[in-house]
Chains A and B, each alone.
Chain A
């Protein structure tokens, strides 16, 4: 009282010079404390954030206290913002806030692309976004991987557990047939950026397909630091992304990076460490010995031993006491990721900044020194309010990364191909014989001086310790933006950006490596190594200028109109040179090779010029209609089709606006509907005829003939030119609703979409007798349609405990409706040339089904040994169509006469369950990813059957009845019901990878995966602040990919042999498995 009285007696000026401390609690209207809420006084550029207990403290220096009244505001994603008037008269002011749930973020301005914006309630399309918390909790180094299971209809597939390998993302199904496409455009702060994955021999894409064997490679979004991400908006289809015209056919991902805010400078430091182990491996057998036909073969005493039958495990039972080795898992160890990051952000009333630096070092789970990825990423985002009308901002990011990869998949030099074929009695760990010579199961007891003789299948430990395949990338991207408020109703925005990357690659195969055999002129069995060195350089420049006019016509009618143009230039340059015959085992450089081929050089340029406009009108703050039109000109379009129009229109009707009604059941209701068109551009250089240096191969060997007896040869390229190519067009209609109910106890979003792809571009097969084999045409039509549901519930919201739980669910179906006359199917690739199976489009089928060899089935019109099975009694006559035909042997045979649809990798539905529990400063979150239905191709199993090391082959010698207790299903033919003994012939014949039916290795691969579990605790009590000077310390223990429930018996149902270089999922042929991780993270904030 005395103090107060004294104060009251002081002159006003003296009181005003005291600082003001504003404190309070920010809670939900249910009383739960809300951490991380932003509390700020806009006019003073002062801000702070709430701590874990929802409390905040904002100190206003005495020099700025003058008795004035200011607006104190609080903002938090998912809640309605609130504000209060505070008079600054010195001392302490307590101002609590209760925030109302706003699950749809109504009122928030979101970027809708190409310089256009809209508030959430005005969006006529479904909104999918991912928050920075969700990205950081995933602990993924690859931003694309971090999006897994975060939104409906977003399918993310990580290709393997090797560090720095690629991840594929697909939105609302496959909407194009071109093998290397199928992924959305990624736009960072308004700049379209490169997310390609160059995974082709010699690094040059040209017309070459990605290879199914070799070192893995990464998608370029890996260059982005996930910690820099402020928000990810996902425009799933043309109805939302049409403003990007001919580049948005597969959707658009809009990424906004973090900005500085005026006020106290905020610092943070993060450090995390992970322990990564292989998640799942196929089952092997440790019972049968090396050999064939039940007879064991021993290499004991045989120098340079080459066991029969390629060293397969079809020998006798292993005698008791014989040491065995688990060659399926002994090359895996525990990997670690070390992640360090620092950030600082802040600013004043004119200037804001955000800077970050992050270092990520990932030492993979494969043994040896050559499985790692390191990335240093730097970012500066700054903005300057030049004057009241002009604001300049710049975002610049640089990253440098070094990846070391081991060969995988279909190569005799890959890590697992040789490893898993190894008989269990051979110890791969001893990859050097006693005399120091490398040895493998196919070349045991090497003699001295055999270090240039092929080991046929490389020992995995030799691979891990001797291969050197590296990718060193430098990437710079950024843009400068000027926002000029020319008139009160007219604003101009210009955005100029550039994206540059340089990827210097080295690929090598050492002496003795089976992959380098056949390149030495002395002997085809000599393996004297090879080296490929080269680079990939890509750059793009993008310029967009927009003018936006806004006008409020009346209280109930306002609108805006945006007009803009965009130019984009994209350049791709690559060069690679292959050298054979290493003079010395090391180093792996071209100068150490004796035979160097001419460099392989490829360059491409694509230009885009576009005009676009968007108009938006809002009536009664309830109904918003938006229309947009883009006219895209592209250098890849045919000369007669150089510009194409892409329209979109949408309507959003807020039937019940949040806060406008007293309805306790429905808190808010919005109906939305949209239609849009976007496109997919043709590849460059498909318009005119040309001759190319011939590279000829037959699937097993390839020979470059650009230097034949000193002469350079050319040949007419087999793709017939088509000067009339136009854009491939995607047309999408979408309708849906967003409902908040029970005072936002829950919210529900529902969407239905139907997207038609017309004039899909692909190389149409043409009769080889024309002199060509393919022609790019706008040829195929197909559709995708589906449903999306997002339901979030907040069952408990108390001061001590809050619990939220949400479900995302989506279902997509597609169907090919037309192909060019006579074309039975479109080969979409997806296997990089792996035999027996391909992704395909066939009329009446879903897009991207598996197409390959099958066993002989009834109803397929098969004539076998001059017998028409379907019309012959005792064969297939009268049998159920599709029944497996069993000949007199009682087993199926391969139908070599044709290929069939043998599986479908597309999922029946995808869903995720996410939940979060907050107990004061504890936070527990979990994410379960479910993908139902769909197939994968377990080619690995097929090969291991052949070599007798798979657990399946333990059935050897067992009597079974095919179709009954073995591979149950309808059967017909003379062998139906017959008991047969499974033997080596069966597993190496029809049920083996090389001569068998591919369909036997198609497996169901739906799964449920415990994607993430995270337990966090925030230390932000005053004592911590006093002792450490940090405002808070966050501790988090996370688990990633902890368990997968699946019927698939291969490594992982999410694997894909070509990674993000192909949209065809689930092709599994000695792919590197995924990893399971435990991560400990400490974050310091100040």
Chain B
């Protein structure tokens, strides 16, 4: 009996419970992650993810750097105070840099996912969806190239073949982005003009089922035909934007930009604004100001807006009080030609806590502090028409420039707001028309500086035109990295540096190909005087 027991127990020792075939690889084990979707039915939810991810990307730290560099905002405390003084390193930039391609932090939603949507769209023979996804891809890659210069694109999104993709020259990236947009336009032109569920083609004759309407968050509620039209306009505006980015190195790009912009967004109703929802997905500026509050209005934009008003170029059309309010939370009240600090709306220069004119904390944001549901602008009618104006000026067509500038000033809009009943911004954040002013380059660029507030296009415009006049943060013990000029680019992100030996070693004062000439090194007492 004992021997029988021993034999039985010995068998148990040798066999155990591991005889089950799927003991180590069954449901919820190994590669079967129960917490995440592993197979998508279609690209709808992926598209929503891209929209949400990029809304955060374009309105969070990336936007804060752009605003601080352009002195539309000022980093007045903690990390933002350092950023305000250009203390921005690869570690700081890493998440934002990766966001354009792979996604923010540990999430995706970058251009790679735009490619993934295209794969789904191709499989579904959905030309409209593919075209839209290509527009998104181009928007992200092109914007990244504008800021960082040389980037991988021809070998991107293919980890098996190119785990360490080469960096294409910035101008090559722009050309490839233009090609992507051209392809997108072909898909967007597909016929028939409505859903064709039986089509098995893709491209000009494919179906245009497109995104389910609820999932299209930027242009909510539009039919496939309407989406086709609006994304076609967006594609042309983006083409124009990226031609403008090439113009610094190649003046002939102005003409191309003009051609594209004239086919671009033609109505403020077609503005691409980033989705937000106060309750669940608050505007990132709003969330940041609530959680951290380390930004103040920049003195340069306040000074410019006031001085234009005092010079009779602009009127106080409501935009000022939408952007800013005084330190006590009251609307800024302008009094004729009165300049700082008459109204308590002064903003901060770079070097917020140092001994500088106008002091600190002399003003606050209005929209960013109060509108959790505010839709920040991304690709707009104003940008499009101001490209027309600038490109027309650069190509000798002053009349067209004047017409375009007039259109912008007659349709003054900044973003949108989802909350009905909000009297400040319902349904759009529209302001009274501005008077006609001559379409000089300075007027055009100053209009862009004001209208495109807190968007990266202000920075791209500045790099190209050195307008408006801005002085770099002054040297001081606090300005840890003294500079003669505002930086011309952000550094590459640490992950790229760490993982890809092809990442160029670029000095902190390097210029990208789109800006062959440095802007004048201005000071607050130089001529022309910086703001």
> B-contacting residues of A (Cβ < 8 Å)?
206-208, 292-293, 306, 308-310, 389, 454, 456, 484, 486-487, 490, 492, 494, 515, 517-526, 543, 545-547, 563-567, 580, 595, 597, 601-607, 609, 611, 633-637, 639, 642, 684-685, 687-701, 703-705, 707-721, 723, 764-774, 821-825, 835, 853, 863-866, 887, 889, 891, 893-894, 896-899, 946, 983-986, 988-990, 993-997
Contacts and interface: CB of A to CB of B under 8 A. Distances in A.
B51 interface: yes
Contacts of A293: 355
B37 A768 contact: no
Given A486-B5, A639-B30, A714 B40 contact: yes
Contacts of B49: 691, 693-694, 705, 713-715
B370 A206 contact: no
A995 B85 contact: yes
B25 A635 contact: yes
A710 B275 CA distance: 12
Nearest to A688: B31
18 contacts: A454-B290, A518-B290, A685-B33, A692-B107, A696-B107, A699-B95, A703-B284, A713-B51, A716-B108, A718-B98, A769-B165, A824-B498, A825-B498, A835-B92, A896-B508, A898-B89, A994-B79, A997-B480
Interface in B234-282: 275, 277-282
B354 A985 contact: yes
A893 B103 contact: no
B164 interface: yes
Residue of B52, B165, B277 with most chain A CB atoms under a 10 A cut-off: B52
B112 interface: yes
A899 B286 CA distance: 31
Given A714-B49, A891-B477, A771 B159 contact: yes
A625 to B, nearest CB: 23
Contacts of B56: 696-698, 703, 705
Contact of B478 (A580, A714, A988): A988
Nearest to B5: A486
Contacts of A823: 498-499
Nearest to A456: B293
Nearest to A594: B279
Interface of B: 2-3, 5-6, 9-10, 12-18, 23-25, 28-38, 40, 44-53, 56-57, 60-62, 77-82, 85-92, 95-98, 101-110, 112-113, 115-116, 151-153, 155-159, 162-165, 214-215, 217, 220, 275, 277-282, 284, 286-293, 353-355, 359-361, 368-370, 372-373, 419, 476-484, 491, 493-501, 507-509
Contacts of B82: 894, 994-996
Contacts of B96: 698
A602 B35 contact: yes
A995 B478 contact: yes
B53 A696 contact: yes
Nearest to B87: A896
Given A490-B6, A524-B289, A823-B499, A995 B480 contact: yes
Contacts of A766: 159, 163, 495, 499
A320 to B, nearest CB: 27
Contacts of B370: 522-524
Given A718-B106, A769-B157, A769-B496, A989 B479 contact: yes
A635 B24 contact: yes
Given A545-B12, A690-B38, A767 B152 contact: yes
Nearest to B82: A995
A635 B53 contact: no
B214 A709 contact: yes
A767 B494 CA distance: 10
B28 A769 contact: no
Given A766-B495, A896-B480, 6 more contacts: A518-B289, A567-B23, A711-B214, A716-B103, A767-B152, A835-B91
Contacts of A723: 31
A767 B500 contact: yes
A542 to B, nearest CB: 12
A695 B214 contact: no
Given A484-B5, A700-B292, A580 B79 contact: no
B59 to A, nearest CB: 10
A486 to B, nearest CB: 4
Nearest to B501: A822
B108 A694 contact: yes
A781 to B, nearest CB: 18
A792 B279 CA distance: 65
A292 B368 contact: no
Contact of A773 (B102, B116, B277, B360): B102
Contacts of B279: 521, 580, 595
A308 B115 CA distance: 48
B108 A545 contact: no
B418 to A, nearest CB: 9
A525 B507 contact: no
B499 A545 contact: no
Contacts of A306: 361
A701 B287 contact: yes
Residue of B53, B275, B498 with most chain A CB atoms under a 10 A cut-off: B498
Residue of A700, A825, A866 with most chain B CB atoms under a 10 A cut-off: A700
Please provide the 10 A-B residue pairs with the shortest distance between their CB atoms, ordered closest to farther.
Answer: A518-B290, A521-B278, A771-B112, A995-B82, A524-B290, A688-B31, A989-B478, A705-B52, A713-B48, A715-B108
Nearest to A893: B480
A309 B355 CA distance: 12
A179 to B, nearest CB: 14
A694 B287 CA distance: 17
Contacts of A825: 498
Contact of A898 (B86, B90, B155, B293): B90
B31 A721 contact: yes
Residue of A308, A704, A887 with most chain B CB atoms under a 10 A cut-off: A308
A697 B105 contact: yes
B81 A694 contact: no
B504 to A, nearest CB: 13
B115 A701 contact: no
Given A705-B52, A714-B45, A770 B165 contact: yes
A606 B79 CA distance: 40
A567 B290 contact: no
Contacts of A518: 282, 286-291
Contacts of B281: 703-705, 707-708
Given A565-B13, A769-B157, A773-B98, A607 B353 contact: no
Contact of B288 (A308, A700, A709, A894): A700
A246 to B, nearest CB: 12
A799 B5 CA distance: 55
A537 B287 CA distance: 32
A611 B16 contact: yes
Contacts of A526: 290
A510 to B, nearest CB: 16
A985 B476 contact: yes
A685 B287 contact: no
Residue of A547, A566, A685 with most chain B CB atoms under a 10 A cut-off: A685
Given A292-B360, A823-B498, A708 B478 contact: no
A456 B368 CA distance: 17
A689 B158 CA distance: 15
A486 B9 contact: yes
Contacts of B290: 454, 517-520, 523-526
B33 A690 contact: yes
Given A521-B279, A524-B286, A691 B40 contact: yes
B495 A717 contact: no
A629 to B, nearest CB: 14
Nearest to A482: B9
A676 to B, nearest CB: 22
A696 B102 contact: no
Given A607-B29, A609-B24, A711-B215, A694 B109 contact: yes
Contacts of A694: 49, 52-53, 103-104, 107-109
Contacts of A997: 480
